[in-house]
Amino acid sequence: MNIVKDFLFQLTVMVIPIFIHFTFVAERVINDKNKNVIMSILWGISILFCMSFPVTFGTNARLELRIIPLLFGSLYGGFWSAIFLSALIILYRLYFGIDIGFYNTILVLLFTMPVILFFQKSFASSNKDKRIKIAVGLSLYYSLIGITIFVILRGFSIENFKVQCIHLIFAVVVSGSFTILYENIREFNQLRLEMQNTEKLRVISELTSVFAHEIRNPMQVARGFLQLLKEANLPDKNKGYVQISLEELERANEIINDFLSFGKPTAINNERIDVGYQLHRVVNIIQSYSMAHNVEIKTDFHNNCWIYANPQKLNQSLINILKNAIESMPNGGIVWIICTKDDDGYIKISIKDQGIGMTKDQIEKLGSPFYSLKEGGTGLGMMVSFQIIRSFKGKILVNSGKNIGSEFIVFLPENEKDPAQPQVEET
């Protein structure tokens, strides 16, 4: 009975950090570094409890699952979390004295941590199923290394080998189960956030259909009278005020256009288009805007990059992304636009700037309603761009870092043949 109690206690101290993360940390702590610090401390406490209260059975047989919090902290927290947790294990094991067990701990960490850190980046960018496989594989590797070093240092005996095999089975099963638990909770959490965003988008759509045109009508009247005043014999100071008013009305009109683009149903007028040709048009349209901001645009477009999409909508999306890239460089710079074919059957459009960049939190919020990094911005332009790309069954990936620029990568399904033409089967 004591064995079951001790094992359940080990599981409890490993579940608590997961519970705390999704209940208190994930949404309330904004900064990623602070999240990692908090979770590293929680996983560290879990390790200390696992090492302090092992499952004991038989003669000098001890079973403790410190590998699980160490693995989770390293894979989800990254390099510094892994270093902190490894150092904590070594120091706490040193507290019990320098013996064969201490050397066993040092050697196991020495042979396993480089491998865990090697797979950490792949783990962070993988989907749920691959993450589970990586976690289980690393847990198995850690346990096998532990068995090998244990046998080398203490010699082989059937009883000790059985204990190590039991440890291996428990470590692999628990690591797989806990990874599934963690990923499922994270999926539910993301689904809840997406539902909240969907509700916001639904409200925006209803508001635009009701109010947008009614707001625009009096604005057009005001704009017309302001233009008449501007042509009248007014003092230069008053003309300046009129010009400012016209510019603000124009900005309000652009916001309404974004609302309408998002809220109204988009007619399906897709056709087979050459992305390189459309990008040339987009660059020509925005060239004067980039020159006014002292920004140079460099291009590299491959031939025969065909997709099935609405050219006007595609141009609107790309112009929004390009404008953001240009505006992210207040002191000027270079924007690179590259169009190539991907090996996975996608056309890849890369728009890279030398701007101020974004943090991970800012990247995750891109495309959300009313989220903008620009002063006075509404975020609707980027939201519309994301919606347009998704409507073409594409996706947008963003790579960025603070003060190192940003890269927007648009993937669109390739369309080598014109779907409007009948396909003739060879006989």
DSSP string, 151-165: HHHH---HHHHHHHH
DSSP 292: H
The number of C-alpha atoms within 13 Å of 77 and in the hemisphere containing its C-beta is 28
pLDDT of residue 166: 82
Contacts of 310 (CB under 8 A, 6+ apart): 266, 268, 269, 270, 271, 392
For residue 422, what pLDDT is reported?
Answer: 41
Q: Which of 79, 82, 70, 210 is nearest to 135 (CA)?
A: 70
**Strand pairing class (333-341; 346-352):** antiparallel
Q: Which pLDDT belongs to residue 68? A: 92
The DSSP bridge pattern shows strands 346-352 and 306-309 to be unpaired
Mark the ranges of the chain whose per-residue pLDDT is less than 50.
265, 419-427
> If one looks up domain 271-413 in CATH, what number appears?
3.30.565.10
Report d(CA 11, CA 16) in Å as an integer.
9
What pLDDT is recorded for position 423?
41
Cross-sheet strand order for the sheet of 295-301 = 295-301, 333-341, 346-352, 406-413, 395-400
pLDDT for residue 79: 92
Residues of the chain with CATH 1.10.1760: 2-195
Contact 170, 54 (CB under 8 A): no
- List Cβ<8 Å contacts ≥24 apart for 265-268: 266/310, 266/313, 266/391, 268/310
Question: Which residues fall within 8 angstroms of residue 49, CB to CB, at 6 or more apart?
Answer: 9, 10, 13
Residue spans in the chain of domains classed CATH 3.30.565.10: 271-413
Coil/strand/helix, residue 340: strand
Q: Supply the pLDDT for residue 416.
A: 63
CB atoms within 10 A of CB 85: 26
Alpha-carbon gap, residue 424 to 100, rounded angstroms: 74
Tell me which amino acid residue 123 is: F
Query: For 225, how many CA atoms within 13 A lie in the half-sphere containing its CB?
Result: 4
- Domain covering 2-195: architecture: Orthogonal Bundle (1.10)
Q: In the 8-state DSSP scheme, what is residue 427? A: -
